[in-house]
Structure 1
Amino acid sequence: MSEPLRQETYLPDDDNGSAEVYDFLRAHENTHGSRPAPRYLLAGSDPGDSVELPEEVYRILRQVVDAMRQGHAVTVSPQTRALTTQQAADLLGVSRPTVVKLLDDGKIPFERTRTHRRILLKDLLEYRERRRAEQYAALEATSVSFDEEEDLDTVLEDLRAARRAASVRRRQTS
């Protein structure tokens, strides 16, 4: 019988063994090159008591162990593959009406079941990555390099001009 799915946050102990697991994982990757063929086993206490881990589970384990080794807490939050607009809004950190507008504008694909919209988690995560890339590009477009001896007013005017140019480009692509 499996346990019910729930969100849970795991805090690292001072001696939680994650350093040893991290060292093993790192040594294994270094020995076999950058991307060894995945074959990772989870072993029990009895001889022959083991199961092979899929590569996806290994990557998750690797990320969890690395975060805990650095002293970070880790939250595991099960998600369904089809989200409501409210679940999508919570994941993106925006309001539900904002998500509805993104759906209506065609920026995120969705399915409609009667009066409800359902968003595939895969599509929502892809949108979030596109949005982050656009935000980083906008930040870079508005950056201005300056010499410390340069006049501050000139630097500020260059920054304003870069922001205006980025705004014009954004309006042209929308």
Structure 2
Amino acid sequence: MTISSPERIVLSDDEATLLAQASRLMGEALDRPHAPRVALVNEDNDGDISRIEVPPTTLRALSRILAMMAKQQVFVMVPEHTELTTKQAAEILGVSRPYLISRLEAGDLDYRKVGRHRRIRMDDIQRFKHAMQVARKSALDELVATSEDIGGYDL
């Protein structure tokens, strides 16, 4: 799988509006938190109606995708077991490749070698990204607490 050359979908204004409406309607359908499944109904030009039922989690994901498409936002869908290069992983994490390699060598993130090249699984990247966010929030909370203790917010 190559994530560096995704297929680009260009929408007309009418298509973008339709997707935005579909996303909004899906969001409203998901306001029923105890529903075990949600029905999607399609009526073709001949008046034939087809119906499919999906779990709310599927509809939630589809709603987010439609909303991003309606706003012409770029997004990439990557299966969690996909292996990425260090360059791709660094881009997802928002860090430099040398920093990522230092974290790999320190054992902070699992990887495997293919010849001389490192490969990192997407689910491991996501776990590491979450850990980075938790650590960042903790450090900021500690900084705020320290600043409050020394009167940094007193005017």
Tell whether the structures are fold-level matches, with TM greater than 0.5: yes
1:140 maps to 141
Question: Does structure 1 residue 155 correspond to structure 2 residue 152?
Answer: yes
Distance change (3 Å), C-alpha of 1:39 and 1:65 = same
Per-residue CA distance 1:46-96 (angstroms, 9 max, x = gap) = 625565556665333211344567xx4321324461001111112122221
Structure 2: distance between partners of 1:121 and 1:93: 14
Instruction: Please give the TM-score of this superposition, normalised by the length of structure 1.
Output: 0.63
The 5-angstrom pairing of residues 10-49 of structure 1 reads 13=13, 16-30=17-31, 32=32, 34-41=33-40, 43=42, 45=44, 47-49=48-50
**What is the root-mean-square deviation of aligned Cα atoms in Å?**
3.5
Question: Does structure 1 residue 58 correspond to structure 2 residue 44?
Answer: no
Equivalent AA in structure 1 for residue 28 of structure 2: A
Instruction: List runs of 5+ in structure 2 lacking aligned partners.
Output: none
Equivalent AA in structure 1 for residue 26 of structure 2: L
Per-residue CA distance 1:120-154 (angstroms, 9 max, x = gap) = 011001111110111111111111449xxxxxx94
Structure 2: distance between partners of 1:23 and 1:101: 44
Equivalent AA in structure 2 for residue 6 of structure 1: P
Q: How many residues align?
A: 143
Q: Determine if contact 1:42/1:53 at 8 Å carries over to the other structure.
A: no
Distance change (3 Å), C-alpha of 1:58 and 1:154 = closer
> Once structures 1 and 2 are overlaid, which stretch shifts more, 117-126 or 73-82?
73-82
Q: Determine if contact 2:23/2:66 at 8 Å carries over to the other structure.
A: yes
Equivalent AA in structure 2 for residue 29 of structure 1: L
Q: Determine if contact 1:40/1:58 at 8 Å carries over to the other structure.
A: no
Equivalent AA in structure 2 for residue 73 of structure 1: Q
Structure 1: distance between partners of 2:24 and 2:95: 39
Per-residue CA distance 1:1-47 (angstroms, 9 max, x = gap) = xxxx72537678476124432342233223x3x25323454747362
1:170 maps to none
Query: Max radius of gyration: which structure?
Result: 1
Instruction: List runs of 5+ in structure 1 lacking aligned partners.
Output: 147-152, 159-174
Structure 2: distance between partners of 1:115 and 1:42: 52
